[in-house]
Structure 1
Amino acid sequence: MEVKLKRILENNRKYIEEGNLPSYIPELSNANKNALGIYVSTVEGEEWGAGDYMYPFTIQSISKVITLLIALEDNGMEIFQKVGMEPTGDAFNSMMKLELVQPSKPFNPMINAGAIAVTSMIHGSYKEKFDRIISFFRAITNNPKLGINDRVYLSEKSTGDKNRAMAYYMRDVGILQGDVEEDLDLYFKQCSIEVTCKDIARIAAFIGNKGVLKETNERLISEEYIKIAKTFMFTCGMYNASGEFAINVGIPSKSGVGGGIMSVVPSKMGIGVIGPSLDSKGNSIAGVKVLEELSKEFNLSIF
């Protein structure tokens, strides 16, 4: 398996030069553009890695899947009174439809506005919310050292004006009801959790295992909510390239502008990919190609 993973990485390394590092979060522009790695974790516990799979990066929008699962456990389907279930066709940080479409609410939990709203619905005080989020991440990655990259967190916080504008608009229309700055701070922190391909592959394997932690055989999330999360990953997880990705790869996935992609092959495995060089949609340009070849070679598409 490792030999095949290495070959797939090398076959698609050429695409790195066609992408760029993100500049709107200044700290992310310091990443190693040429990093490329993959890690596979099966639901039975077998694992393989190739390339720069231990390269550290911030999880960014991949975190939206996890906070959605926590919020669903806390609130059930009531969260969809404030967040929709439909793809947008717009960029992940677009705020255009918040005001244009009535009733005014984010289209889904995978765009920034929807993720901020979802995080605000997690139960507890600000500290309790953050402690629950980071503890859950540590449990499902089996990595007790997981933590925040403070440089990225402060960079996001100081430049997050569009997210701040969306959050205050959502408070104005009643979607957010608590302290907006606390909701935003929590969102910036969850996006700044530092991970490796190994970590996100294990998160994906947990989702692939229907919410059961393979180390202890303990159910942490109900299977119903896991299905909802996988559906959002498939329809909205790759931003406004989700339809193209569904056709070419066919695996529920979630990307982040840190260059990571987390993919779930239901009941089989989780896959983590890193490639900080991004395409125009905000997805890892070589990472998408790696997953496309991997899916074809091992017939991983769910269709």
Structure 2
Amino acid sequence: MMEPVIRIDGSGADPCAGIVRIDWPKAIWNGTMIAGTVAALAVATWQAVLMFLVLTYGTLLVGHSVGMHRMMIHRTFRAKPWVARALIYVGTLVGVSGPSGIIRIHDTRDWAQRKAECHDFFAHRAGFWQDLAWNLFSRFEFVRPPRITIEPAISADPFYRFLDVTWRWQQAPLALTLYWAGGWPFVLWGICARVFVSTAGHWSVTYFCHRPDLGTSPGRWLVKDAGIQASNLPGLGLVTYGECWHNNHHAFPESARIGLEPGQVDPGWWVIAALERLDLVTAVGKPRGPDAREDLLERESA
């Protein structure tokens, strides 16, 4: 298993002090995707909707869950260079951000949630519609922000730097292909509806998995000193690529497998296990042993 990368320095930073502001490039991008989704409903065909379902599921599973989240952010496995680039490229096509942007979004939120207190922007306490609006249109402006340093393997790689600069434009080649295959219905469903549903869907897992008051399963583990604890969403493993077992993930971010308990379906793990059998990935991480869990408490009822 690879050692985790420490990218964030929170010394002197305050996870509570700051203000939520409109992020205009983000707001315009997601607003355009929403408008395109509304237009897609007017020109829906069964072929376009089927393509949307397959493309959305495939890009989120392979690109975001496996490539960006488990490999790039948490380094739970090592892939051959061409495999890693392919996975992160597919993750970029999800349409949320480029590689460095995804790391900054994830690591900042994770840092804030592991503090004793954090702003509602990170704690998801603002309510469903407010939190969704923040996720789609806004950013958090810290009074004293943490410092994030992305490792050179990402920040100095010409391909990943190119994706960071052009991530929105990466939809264009796909849009041309979709237009050739099925005209405007394919473009609207394959680009606009897919990006909007992917962004909102990714947010929804994050929202519900950090709101135990909404009836989610608390899971087996408590992370010591963390103000925000993660929950699980039973029964949703297949449609969330295994990301719904979020309590496990907070406890064992080093593990490539997130669905750790019997019956916890984890399609992301299926993909990683298949890549390992093909000798395309190595150093696949497992949960650390009982002698290295001093940061965890196990619930008595588990």
TM-score normalised to the size of structure 2?
0.31
Larger radius of gyration: 2
Q: Could you say which structure has the higher strand fraction?
A: 1
